[in-house]
Amino acid sequence: CGEFILPPKAAQPKAKAFPETEKIFYVLSGRGILAIDGMDHEIEQGMALYVAPGEAHAFANTGSDELRLLWFEAPPQCPVGGYMPQEQGWKRIAPD
């Protein structure tokens, strides 16, 4: 699980699918679009979202505030006790 933050008017560059992983997202704040297999769904604070294994998905922030999401996935994409490298602004955050 983790928190995903998308700045105002930003969007993920392309949809990604994970063949063996299902995902649940909870919108902590903001509003936007969740595209699942080419279909756009409007999302806003307080909504819970489900993405089935193999469904290509991407987020876009359509609001003027950050879009903040809490996400859960099973099975995890990274090994137990490990983390996938992340980018945050100019600083790269990676496992030790």
What per-residue confidence (pLDDT) applies to 35?
96
What per-residue confidence (pLDDT) applies to 92?
47
What per-residue confidence (pLDDT) applies to 76?
79
What per-residue confidence (pLDDT) applies to 75?
86
Helix, strand and coil content of the chain, in percent to the nearest 5, comes to: 0, 50, 50
**What's the pLDDT tens digit per position in 65-92?**
999 999 999 987 765 555 555 544 544 4
Query: What percentage of the chain reaches a pLDDT higher than 70?
Result: 80
List the one residue out of 63, 30, 59 whose CA is nearest residue 46. Answer: 30
